[in-house]
Amino acid sequence: MELRRLTTASERSVFVSRLNQARASHGSSFRENSQFQSLNQQRLDCSLLYGLFQQENAPAEAMMAGIAMHDLRTFPQSCAEPDLSHLPPNRVVECSDHWSLSSGAGMLIWAGLAVPMRLLGVQAVLAYLAADKEGCAHAGFYQLMGFAPAGPVVPHPFVEDTQGRKLLVQPVIVQGEAFNNGMSALSQACTEYSDDARIFHLMDSIRPLVRASVRPAAHRANIPASTPQSRPAHAAA
């Protein structure tokens, strides 16, 4: 497996195309908010985009999963909540636009980010999970990764539901001991990486590493959810 930071215009274009394809194929109940399309594009332009490939040196069209990441110094967090002003903005990243077209690839790309995050000196990771009356989609997966709720459910400015209303999201964050333990365990998924930290070779299976990254149950914070675990995992934007 190869995790690749996407640097060319063509690679980034494929990322966006596959993101839309994944949302459509999974029947996602949200879409990009056209009113804020320009600002959302600025966010993507400021983000590091990563794609997952089955084979090394595969063409961009073979991308099977992807995720975007930006630090809060480069571009502000998407929603006003939570208040993270006590943390250095260049050490906090927001992960978004998480998509997958292959079973298990979504989890693998999260594990693949462990080494890039450690190289960048990241201390906390923020994400926004789509929330509705049924709860947060795939809350169990994020809880397993050590994420905890960070404030109330809020409307997201960049995405809307099928009725054109701003999508409600649950902010979640992983930091401190949970982040350090998780990154330490998941970084073992990376067998080697390029000198410019653009290409990362990964193990094909990371389930044992995910189990090793889990915090003790006594310290685990519940993310409200009642959705089935089989639903595709996506951050809201």
3-state DSSP helix/strand/coil % of the chain, to nearest 5: 35, 30, 35
Q: Is residue 116 part of a domain?
A: yes
Would residue 225 count as lying in a domain?
no
In a domain, 81, yes or no: yes
- Asked if residues 219 and 78 have their Cβ atoms less than 8 Å apart, the reply is no
pLDDT of residue 141: 77
Would 57 be classed as within a structural domain? yes
Establish if 169 belongs to a structural domain: yes
Token digits of residue 145:
């990764």
Which pLDDT does position 27 carry in this prediction? 57
The CATH number given to whatever domain includes residue 62 is 3.40.630.30
Q: How much is the pLDDT for 138?
A: 65
Answer for the pair 115, 187: CB distance below 8 angstroms, yes or no: yes
142-145, long-range: CB within 8 Å, 24+ apart, which pairs? 142/172, 142/223, 142/233, 143/220, 143/221, 143/222, 143/223, 144/210, 144/213, 144/214, 145/110, 145/174, 145/182, 145/210, 145/213
197: helix, coil or strand?
A: coil
Handedness of CA 55, 58, 62, 65 (dihedral sign): positive
Q: Identify whether 224 is part of a domain.
A: no
* The model's pTM: 0.85
Q: Residue 156: how many CB atoms within 10 A of its CB?
A: 23
CA gyration radius, the chain: 16
Overall number of domains in the chain: 1
Domain that holds residue 134: 2-219
Q: Is position 14 within any domain? A: yes
C-alpha 163/C-alpha 45 separation (Å) is 27
pLDDT at 42 (0 to 100): 93
Report yes or no on 80 lying in a domain.
yes
Mean pLDDT per 10-residue section of the chain, whose length is 237 residues: 96 94 72 77 95 94 96 96 95 95 87 93 95 67 87 88 82 94 88 94 72 48 43 48
Strands 124-132, 92-100: pairing is: parallel
